[in-house]
Amino acid sequence: MSKIYIETSSIEKVANKIDKINSEITQSFVDTENLIRKLNNTWSGKVATKTISNFEKIKKIEENRYQIFNNYSSLLKKEIFEGYETVENINAKLSNLFK
């Protein structure tokens, strides 16, 4: 009988990497927002107004993007990594009952 091996540690590593990259993207966005705010103090006119307006639209998209990847990472960690480990431990205990 062939066996299938699931490396749950790999799933956890991928989820942690997603978290790290997601945080880095968000931090870059915050840094950019801070620069735009500083620039806004000295910058005026139609171009400045349009740039800030467009940035606000992008900001909403960024918040959604962050949440999507955060949810995906949570799914990997909780449902797949922890869930698989729990089921495998239960199965191992049950199989020991029949030995």
Residue-wise pLDDT for 3-29, tens only, equals 767 677 788 899 999 999 999 999 999
Residue-wise pLDDT for 59-77, tens only, equals 999 999 999 999 999 988 8
What tokens appear for 18 in the block?
Answer: 């997603």
In angstroms, what CA-CA distances link 53 with 23, 64, 80?
Answer: 24, 18, 40
Other beta carbons within 10 Å of 83: 13
In angstroms, what CA-CA distances link 90 with 8, 59, 97?
Answer: 16, 45, 11
| pLDDT value at 55 more than 70 | yes
Residue 76 per-residue DSSP state: I
